[in-house]
Amino acid sequence: MRRRSHGVHPIVAGLLVALVALLAAAAACPGALASASRDHPRARANAGDAGAEAARVARFWTPARMRAARPLDLVVGAGGGARVVPRAPSEGALASFLNVPTPETPPFSVEGKVFIRRGDLSGSCSATAINSPTRRLVLTAGHCVNSGPERGHKAVWSNYLEFVPAYSGGVAPFGAFVARRGALYAPKEWTKEDNPDFDLGAFLTRPNSEGVNVADAVGGGATIVTDLPRQQEFQTFGYPGEIRRMQECNSPYIGDDVLTNPFPGPPTQAIECRWAPGASGGGWLIAEGTQLDGITAYLHRGDRTRTYGPYFAAETVGKLVRGL
């Protein structure tokens, strides 16, 4: 989960905002628009057998490594630089979520935990299986698939992604779904400019060990909706802190993050749930759990009541998942 300073002086906040570059120009035609608006790692020409790669990822994520994976947190320092760090041990004490007793049943079954590697770090986030034409799409936070530009360093892509829907207590009722190499995506506004309005990530997965695609395995997946009124009642989910069972927190929309108003793009929105790191990417469901209208992205240090996520618009998540 992205964490921001709380109570920053307006002048300092303005200086930090000024460090963000302007939004990349959009391409003219719809097909080019999606391509120009999202970024993805380049698969190596000598990638080798895709099945062998998927097997390596599956072998890597042993139950022990899953238990040891640290929830990821994107921390913004005083100078405006961001870096991914493991969760702070005390974070869970400030939470406002409850255990989901039956994660394998709808609407909970579309939610899950995603395990990732980034350099030497084995980490975890939350994610949602999507009702898409490919039946293989998973949506999470941008900083879970890509670090964003850190001060003096280029953005770093995650690898060895494995999505486990309805993961609870080490049990994977629908199996595991390994991300395809080179099929990770994030908006360029995130990977190049660290814009929180576009802190969204997506990836395409391979079928599970029984040959079933992720959306079909979980009962259809959630349908992404865009440009709806912000005043919604959200069912939100995630795997916060060191908790290994799916958690839930329900809340209405309670306002925008005014600190994101100067950024290009629609401002992020808030719910009255204090999610801890590890819940990043967890879905915000509406319409009795059938539609996805937000994800958990970040919180403010010192604020024990709110969590923020990107507003789902055609220009944000719509461009990201087009054609996937």
Per-residue pLDDT of the chain (324 residues; tens, 9 = 90+): 655 543 433 322 332 333 233 223 333 333 434 445 898 887 654 555 677 888 899 999 999 999 888 887 655 444 444 455 555 444 444 457 899 999 999 999 999 999 999 888 888 999 999 999 999 999 999 999 998 886 667 888 999 999 999 999 889 999 999 999 889 999 999 999 889 999 999 999 999 999 999 999 999 999 999 999 999 999 999 998 878 899 999 999 999 998 888 899 999 999 999 887 889 999 999 999 999 999 999 888 777 788 999 999 999 999 999 999
Count the alpha carbons within 13 Å of 230 in the hemisphere toward its beta carbon.
15
Q: Which pLDDT value is given to residue 318?
A: 96
Nearest CA among 282, 236, 2, 271 for reference residue 98: 236
Q: Which pLDDT value is given to residue 151?
A: 61
Q: Which pLDDT value is given to residue 80?
A: 40
Q: Count the neighbouring beta carbons within 10 Å of the beta carbon of residue 174.
A: 22
pTM of the predicted model, to two decimals? 0.85
Joined together, the tokens standing for residue 78 give 């005083």
Instruction: Give start and end residues of each alpha helix (H) in the chain.
Output: 10-18, 30-37, 50-60, 63-68, 142-145, 188-191, 214-217, 319-321
Beta-carbon contacts of residue 249 (< 8 Å; ≥ 6 apart) = 96, 97, 98, 236, 271, 273, 275
The strand pair at 137-140 and 269-271 is best described as unpaired
Q: Which pLDDT value is given to residue 93?
A: 42
Joined together, the tokens standing for residue 159 give 């690898």
H helix count then E strand count, the chain: 8, 19
